[in-house]
Amino acid sequence: MKQFKPINLKQLMQQKEKFFFFCYISILVLLTILEGSIALDIWRRDHSIFWLIFSIVVLMMAENIVKMFVCKKFHQKIACYVVDFLGLCALAFLTETKLILPICMLILSEFYLSSNNFKANLAMVTAWEVLYLAMRLVVTLLIKKTLSVSFYSETIGDMFSIAIHFMIMVLALTLYRKNEELVRAVEDLNVSNEHLREAYEKIAETTAIEERQKIAKDIHDTAGHSITTVIMQTELAKLLVEKDPAEAKQKIVAANLQAKNALAELRTSVHLLSGRINGQTLKELMERVILDTSDGTDIAIRSDIDDVKVEEETALFLCNTLKEGLSNGMRHGNATAFWAELKEDDYAVSFVLSDNGIGVDTALLKEGFGLSGMRTSAEALGGIVRFSSQPGEGFEITVTLPKRQRKEAEHE
């Protein structure tokens, strides 16, 4: 099915402006012929010459309409300009050059409207000035055989009129086209602003999604670990409630404290509070996690943690990795013992957490939310994380992060 292009109202208005301007000039020429003294003189002398002149003028108007609205390129208009020249020559002889000035201005007006090049317009008006002078000179010599003072005054006046017409037309069209450029620039600016607004909304939406994912990961890493510890403690309390009520009570008290800690961590994650480290070192934070996990449970956790100086974001990531590793080891690996190690050298910080759980074949390992989030966070910090395990051999997490803080200090 044929697709029809929508009407471009802006282009249509521009064409209408050209058409109205052309009609205005055409009416002036017709009035000059029909009601002017020249037309009356010609009519009195010879009706046939009058109608011949009228026919030539109408033909030239029709040709100029074709030239303006049909021919779009200059080489297509060359034949029209040839017709213009021949028509002007005929009118020059039939009216003794008295009617060619308005026709000349009509032809030049069409050229100015179709051209956006000042140099081309200047060359065109110069050529027509020379052509007009030559026409008047030739016709006057052929008809009157001599050049009078009036010839020079009329010729200079007409050529001056053509020059004034050129300046007015070029100035008016320049102002009009500059205004059009300004309108288009404003429209483009509005479109660009709309695109920027849409892009900003998309960025805001993406940021909100990332922030929600970060909150979800924080809740999973912090509150999830604490709740796992609570579950372990209450399970032990159930087993001891009849055999050793005092020990069961101790487990319940520890679980209660851990639950309160989980609530505090949950509030911290949900409200995205800053300063969660609260001045504690990474060593103190990790030792606190280990103590909270092993206190009131049968979980044994040995550690060798150096007092490593890292950025807050890195410290939070390592603490969350420790919590996630302990939680996974107890829930999924049935681990009862862990080894945690934090070391550094001149270029990197390394963290290792291993357990004595049931292990898993890493080829069949499906990384859940915790492990995939751990990998993503490590990569975001410029580091890597590796998971090592075999069935019956426990599970080991190894994290290596670059010493960004030191590099920046050395750079400064």
The tens digit of pLDDT for each residue in 45-72 reads 667 777 787 787 777 777 777 776 777 6
Distance CA 335, CA 396 (A): 12
The pLDDT of residue 249 is 75
* Neighbouring residues of 164: CB distance < 8 A, sequence distance ≥ 6: none
Does the structure show a pLDDT above 50 at 407? Answer: no
- Distance set, CA 252 to CA 47, 117, 289 (Å): 125, 91, 19
Of the chain, the percentage scoring pLDDT greater than 70 comes to: 73
Query: E-strand spans in 247-389?
Result: 300-305, 337-344, 348-355, 384-389
Distance CA 84, CA 131 (A): 12
The tens digit of pLDDT for each residue in 171-199 reads 887 887 788 788 888 888 888 888 888 88
Which of 4-13, 14-23, 88-97, 346-355 is predicted most confidently?
346-355
Report the side by side order of strands in the sheet with 348-355. Answer: 300-305, 337-344, 348-355, 395-402, 384-389
DSSP 295: T
Helices 223-240 and 245-271 sit at what angle, rounded to 10 degrees? Answer: 170
Does the structure show a pLDDT above 70 at 79? Answer: yes
Domain ranges of the chain: 9-191, 296-412
Cβ contact 88:139 at 8 Å: no
Cβ contact 303:340 at 8 Å: yes
Tracing tokens 């009356």 back to the chain, one arrives at 40
Min mean pLDDT across 129-133, 228-232, 320-324 is at: 228-232
Cβ contact 357:329 at 8 Å: yes
* Neighbouring residues of 68: CB distance < 8 A, sequence distance ≥ 6: 18, 22, 110, 113, 114
Mean pLDDT of 348-373: 85
**Cβ neighbourhood burial of 348 (10 Å; 0-12, 13-18, 19+):** middle
Region at 61 (left for phi over 0; alpha for psi -120 to 50; beta for the rest): alpha
The pLDDT of residue 26 is 60
The pLDDT of residue 400 is 94
Model pTM?
0.41
SS3 at position 263: helix
The tens digit of pLDDT for each residue in 136-181 reads 888 788 877 777 787 788 888 888 888 998 898 888 878 877 887 8
DSSP 280: -
Looking at the domain that runs over 296-412, which CATH code has it been given? 3.30.565.10
